[in-house]
Amino acid sequence: MNPIAKILILGAGKVSAPLVKYFLHKKYQVTVASEFLFQAEMVLDNDPLGEAVEWHSDDEAKLNTLVYNNHVVVSLLPYTLHHIVCKACIKQKRNLVTTSYEQPGMEDMQGEALKSNITILNEMGLAPGIDHMWASEMIAAVKERGGKVEKFISVCGVLPSREALDNPFRYKFSWTPIEVMRASSSEATYLKNKKAVVLAPSQLMKDTFAVKIRGMGKLQAHANRNSLKYINLYQIPEVETFFRGILRFKGWCEVIDTLIEAGYLSEEPFPKHIDTYAGLTSYLCKLENVSDLRDGFIEKLNLKTHSKAIMAMEWIGLFSRDYFTTQVNNPLTVLTNKMLSRIKMLPCDKDLVVINHQLLFSLPDGQKKMINGVLKRMGKDFQRTAIADSVSYPAALAAELLLNDEIPQKGFIRPIYPEIYQPILKKLKEDFKFKFKEIELSADQWPKAW
């Protein structure tokens, strides 16, 4: 490691604080670059080892300079910006850690990354991140016993604590609202009993199932994007069922399904003259001439008068004639702005991160067993959140491994290698008190529908 390690953090949003504080505590020099300088200054909190920099994503020259002047880069930026960050790191021969999904097209830069002899470690946060590492560790343990993985279900949720459930959505935002909503309306694919299931965005919230979490009771899960690409990554080609999903309290999926049908999760622009919630709802559902918008909406979508969806939409004000800012031009932005104003975390609220892994496997003697792993982590308050810890600390520990030249793999990789997941899971448990609890059960405990 360099005598004085220099780390560049791109982004100073909701999850950045634990990572920045960890690096400063370790006496690294930390540069935080953000489009809003005050956010970078706030997260650094006047630490003499920190430098706040204003940087905008269209300034590639400044990005290249920032990358060159540091030893490793951690990007907490939206996934849409990671292509330009990857290019800068390849050009300047600097290792990179991101917490986002590896994006289509990144594989085209694999040759350049290998030529620059750098590591670009993607999916190094919570989910993706901790889920990959823990799954890899569990699968490796099964293989050491000579076992074969037959079925695998992994679900993760960032939820409000039960004490904070005070709205019809049964949810509160502790991280980027727009990404929460996009994950709730994306195409998804998974494997169930050897058959691929492909869900269009309009089907996603209809294809849900109950998941019983130890100590929490039943929650609801829906598929999370494309699970199939992780079968080979996890090196279990023989698997018959493979599902990665998102956890929610019951009620959320029903409400979001109605909002999807209504068109509120669309990012297509609407006419500029629309400036009220009622006007937008009328436009999206072609209900401009009805006398009662609420009743017309119920009839159009064939809903019950007092359904969870209608109660949630009425509570949040989507039938009201209140004005919204004319600076937005698509339904998803209008919706997330409104939701954030009504269901944001209050100072007394806490968030809860949950991962639930279920793994069914067969042993050489013919026995079948299952392992259930549960991780639960509660935030301290609305600022010191569990999601911030769970995204930041894995990325910070991975960056530290890169500083110490302890990750031999080069090019675009994910954290499925023992050199990565073993030391990081160990430190998450010992230094940061993450509690990974596993129990082995008989195969008859496997969920009946799967």
Q: What is the pLDDT of residues 217-244, one digit of tens each?
A: 899 999 999 999 999 999 999 999 999 9
Whole-Å CA distances, 416 to 133, 185, 210, 405, 424: 6, 27, 28, 17, 11
pLDDT at position 382: 87
Q: Which of 136, 27, 21 is nearest to 388 (CA)?
A: 21
Determine the Cα–Cα distance for residues 195 and 51; give it in Å rounded to an integer: 52
Burial of 47 (0-12, 13-18, 19+ CB in 10 A): middle
Q: Which of 24, 65, 74 is nearest to 44 (CA)?
A: 24
- What is the C-alpha R_g of the chain? 23
pLDDT digits (tens, 9 = 90+) for 352-403: 999 999 999 999 999 999 999 999 999 998 889 999 999 999 999 999 999 9
Whole-Å CA distances, 64 to 40, 70, 87, 319, 322: 19, 10, 9, 48, 45
Contact residues for 363 (Cβ-Cβ < 8 A; gap 6+): 145, 146, 147, 369
Contact residues for 318 (Cβ-Cβ < 8 A; gap 6+): 264, 277, 278, 280, 281, 335, 338
Comparison of pLDDT for 69 and 80, the residue scoring more: 69
Determine the Cα–Cα distance for residues 387 and 379; give it in Å rounded to an integer: 8
264's tokens: 């509120």
pLDDT at position 173: 86
286's tokens: 């072609």
pLDDT at position 328: 86
The yes-or-no verdict on residue 42 having pLDDT over 60 is: yes
For range 420-438, the mean pLDDT = 98
> Residue for token digits 């500083």?
403
pLDDT at position 75: 97
For the chain, give the mean pLDDT. 94
pTM of the model: 0.93
Determine the Cα–Cα distance for residues 149 and 369; give it in Å rounded to an integer: 10
pLDDT at position 221: 96
10's tokens: 């791109």
Burial of 102 (0-12, 13-18, 19+ CB in 10 A): buried
pLDDT at position 206: 95
Determine the Cα–Cα distance for residues 247 and 172; give it in Å rounded to an integer: 13
pLDDT at position 327: 83
pLDDT digits (tens, 9 = 90+) for 124-173: 999 999 999 999 999 999 999 999 999 999 999 999 998 999 999 999 98
The yes-or-no verdict on residue 3 having pLDDT over 90 is: no
The yes-or-no verdict on residue 28 having pLDDT over 80 is: yes
pLDDT at position 344: 86
Determine the Cα–Cα distance for residues 353 and 436; give it in Å rounded to an integer: 12
Q: Mean pLDDT lowest for which of 170-179, 190-199, 244-253, 374-383?
A: 170-179
The yes-or-no verdict on residue 14 having pLDDT over 80 is: yes
The yes-or-no verdict on residue 1 having pLDDT over 70 is: no
pLDDT digits (tens, 9 = 90+) for 274-314: 999 999 999 999 998 889 999 999 999 999 998 999 999 99
Cβ atoms of 287 and 347 closer than 8 Å? no
pLDDT at position 178: 83
